[in-house]
Amino acid sequence: MNFKNVHIYVADSLRWDYLPDTISELGVTFKTVAQSNFSAPSFATLGTGLYPVQHQVHNWGDVLAPDTPTIFELDGLHTGYRDHAEGTEATVFRILKQDEAVDLSDLKPPFLHVERNSYPHVPFGKNAPDTVQEYYNDRGNDWQQMRRDYKCGIKQSVNRFQKRLDYLEDSGLLEDTLIVFTSDHGELFGEYGTKGHGSPTCPELVYVPTVFINPQLQEEDFQINPQSEIIEHVDLVQTMLSSIGYGNALTTSGVDLFSRDRMRDWGYNHINIVRKGRKFYTAESAWDYNGGHVFAQNKTFYRFIYAISQFRDAPARENLVANPTKLIRYYIKNTELFGSPTHSESKSKENIDTFTDQLSREEGYAHGLSENEKERLKNLGYLT
């Protein structure tokens, strides 16, 4: 498939099972294995086409190495990034090495534009309370209310996306543009006794939707079957680059889904939550369409501490205290099975080890966070 332009719209925190039919029906929808469980590592992947163990952005304070190329640095292409997230937008700009916000309408063809919209992220939507903390204080003990608010945030995000489609159509750009609607990770509403995202690794956080949209595009144009096979964020990046003639301009770890079958029938997710130099939750996992195996990697003691730290978290405290064993159990187990994946636990572990041994590694490094950023991230419930 050949297009001139790409617009990627990332609805932050939209999990797979909450994708509205109105979006799915616009194009070809793939169940997607997010490369990580929160915005920082997943956006670094969307910006590079590399896995977190390659680009090395694992936490909010990490940045890409200066010589790690991104999709925004391609010769002959007008590129830009727009972010509507409150509190983390400056940090994601830094991760992606972007200086200023660029609207879709600012770019002339050929263009590549990425937009992050955080309405599905806590506190859910544009009329919500100011901070995540305020939201949880207000509603954090009512999972049903939170799900309703989440749906409301998704609806607002979809409305904004619709405006982008309208703009492309009104400007005569729709035919020449591949539009990709996706998300960076999912969200929890009491499953495993907790909320939000980041950890523990589970299907609700790992599976996100990707919808490829263009009037000419059909399911048959893809080499993989959306009804039974997964794709990964890295494939999304390679596919959109190839479709605008930049398939060889960047070395990604994904495949062009229009021309090549995926080499593996599973996808790889990795999370490494570090606080003050200590690994509090590190896990890797392998997922196919029907489920996956999770392998915790850091010391059980620190995972236990991390689980306990969530009890201190005032917002959803009552819910957590009501269900303490559930939460702790998921954190301290070294392996966990979800659903009914094709491969056994031992085969999955072997697959992951063989696969990650072959991956190239970039030299990422910790940039550190300013006091201001720390405060904002705390307000979003990221730093405990």
**Tokens at 74, concatenated:** 């391609």
The residue (of 111 and 119) whose beta carbon lies closer to Zn ion is 119
**Shortest spacing between CB 38 and Zn ion, in angstroms:** 6
Total of chain residues touching Zn ion, rule CB under 5 A: 3
Instruction: Please say whether the beta carbons of 271 and 281 come within 8 A.
Output: yes
Angle ∠(202,58,137) on CA atoms, nearest 5: 60
**Shortest spacing between CB 116 and Zn ion, in angstroms:** 8
Per rule CB under 5 A, is residue 115 in the interface with Zn ion? Answer: no
- Of the listed pieces 132-140, 156-164, 176-184, 204-212, which binds Zn ion according to CB under 5 A? 176-184
Residue nearest to Zn ion (CB): 39
Per rule CB under 5 A, is residue 39 in the interface with Zn ion? Answer: yes
The residue (of 34 and 179) whose beta carbon lies closer to Zn ion is 34
Helices 39-48, 233-243: axis angle to 10 degrees equals 30
Instruction: Look at residues 275, 277, 241 and name the one whose alpha carbon lies nearest to residue 259.
Output: 241
Query: From CA 85, how far away is CA 199, in angstroms rounded?
Result: 21
**Shortest spacing between CB 249 and Zn ion, in angstroms:** 26
**Tokens at 262, concatenated:** 């995926």
The residue (of 184 and 204) whose beta carbon lies closer to Zn ion is 184
- According to CB under 5 A, which one of 62, 115, 149, 184 is a site residue for Zn ion? 184
**Shortest spacing between CB 381 and Zn ion, in angstroms:** 12
Query: From CA 213, how far away is CA 24, in angstroms rounded?
Result: 9
Per rule CB under 5 A, is residue 187 in the interface with Zn ion? Answer: no
**Shortest spacing between CB 12 and Zn ion, in angstroms:** 4
Query: From CA 58, how far away is CA 319, in angstroms rounded?
Result: 28
**Shortest spacing between CB 180 and Zn ion, in angstroms:** 16
Give the position of tokens 């096979």.
229
Q: Residue 206: exposed, middle, or buried by beta-carbon count in 10 A (0-12, 13-18, 19+)? A: buried
Per rule CB under 5 A, is residue 12 in the interface with Zn ion? Answer: yes
Q: Which residues pair with 358 in a beta bridge?
A: none
- Of the listed pieces 32-40, 46-54, 56-64, 153-161, which binds Zn ion according to CB under 5 A? 32-40
**Tokens at 126, concatenated:** 């544009």
The residue (of 5 and 210) whose beta carbon lies closer to Zn ion is 210
- Of the listed pieces 23-31, 180-188, 263-271, 279-287, which binds Zn ion according to CB under 5 A? 180-188
Site for Zn ion in 322-351 (CB under 5 A): none
**Shortest spacing between CB 203 and Zn ion, in angstroms:** 17
Per rule CB under 5 A, is residue 232 in the interface with Zn ion? Answer: no
Dihedral of CA 280/286/288/291: which sign? negative
In DSSP notation, 289-314 reads: TTEEEEEE-S-HHHHHHHHHHHHH-G
Q: Point out which residues bind Zn ion (CB under 5 A).
A: 12, 39, 184
